[in-house]
Amino acid sequence: MSQDGKMRDDLQCVLYTSEQIQEAVASMGERITKDYAGKSPVMICILKGASLFFCDLIRHIDLPVRCEFVILSSYQDGVSTTGRVRIVQDTDCDVTGKDVLIVEDIVDTGFTLHTFSKMLAIRNAASIKIVTLLDKPHRRKVDLKSDYVCFEVPDAFVVGYGLDYADKYRNLPMVGVLDPKIYEPA
Ligand code: 5GP
């Protein structure tokens, strides 16, 4: 991080401001409210990255949702995927016959949610949809389509609004491209 500790200075550019994010999250919440009218979906937040998005999104959904939280692991402290996915903390919610919305910060190769949605399918969820703040569809390595997407992002490492690098930058209110000099050796 820069000497004076200003996280914003570590961004190469801002992709989405806080205002743009809030607008997109509000309209996604309205869409989900319409699509799931009369239902009580289970919303599963993938910690830690989706936490800010999840908390903002559920406040725009006018339905009796159940909120669940899981921790999955595929990335270590680096910027590229290993392809291996592990459940670090599972939900104890019985999803049998339930409509499930998985809420993620960003879908990249798709490995994480491909594996997790298969696990939920085995547990007999009635339906499983993927809700993500950001999507990198051109980076997909498995057949996985996001159902609700706020923004498609270019092939760059982004941080902010919940997304981290080495557990930092999550509390930036905007989403931006992290300057490669932060993670690339000089
Ligand atoms: P996937 O399994 O789809 O490749 O990876 C999903 C996970 O990778 C996300 O939940 C996130 O933790 C991490 N990830 C992928 N791309 C980025 C990125 O550009 N920035 C950050 N901070 N994390 C990313």
Q: Please report the pLDDT score of residue 86 as a whole number.
A: 86
H/E stretch holding 12 reads strand 11-16
Question: Model confidence over 122-134: pLDDT tens digits?
Answer: 999 999 999 999 9
Decide if 101 contacts 43 (C-beta within 8 A): yes
Question: Model confidence over 30-40: pLDDT tens digits?
Answer: 999 999 999 99
Q: How far is the CA of 156 from the centre of ligand 1 (A)?
A: 11
Question: Model confidence over 129-185: pLDDT tens digits?
Answer: 999 999 999 999 999 999 999 999 999 999 999 999 999 999 999 999 999 999 887
Torsions phi, psi for 91 (to 5 deg): -95, 145
Examine the pLDDT at 5 and tell me if it is beyond 70: no
Question: Model confidence over 15-32: pLDDT tens digits?
Answer: 999 999 999 999 999 999
For residue 135 and ligand 1, the question of a CB distance below 6 A is answered with no
Q: Packing angle between helix 18-35 and helix 51-58, nearest 10 degrees?
A: 60
Q: Please report the pLDDT score of residue 185 as a whole number.
A: 75
Q: For residue 33, give the 3-state DSSP assignment.
A: helix
Q: Please report the pLDDT score of residue 77 as a whole number.
A: 46
DSSP state of 179: P
| Test site for ligand 1: of 105, 138, 144, 175, most ligand atoms within 8 A of the Cβ | 105
For residue 110 and ligand 1, the question of a CB distance below 6 A is answered with yes
Q: Please report the pLDDT score of residue 85 as a whole number.
A: 85
- 17/21 Cα distance (integer angstroms): 6
For residue 109 and ligand 1, the question of a CB distance below 6 A is answered with yes
Q: Please report the pLDDT score of residue 4 as a whole number.
A: 57
pTM for the whole structure: 0.93
pLDDT band (50, 70, 90) for residue 186: confident
For residue 163 and ligand 1, the question of a CB distance below 6 A is answered with yes
| Test site for ligand 1: of 107, 163, 175, most ligand atoms within 8 A of the Cβ | 163
Return the active site residues.
108
Question: Model confidence over 41-87: pLDDT tens digits?
Answer: 999 999 999 999 999 999 999 999 999 999 998 755 455 666 778 89
Q: For residue 56, give the 3-state DSSP assignment.
A: helix
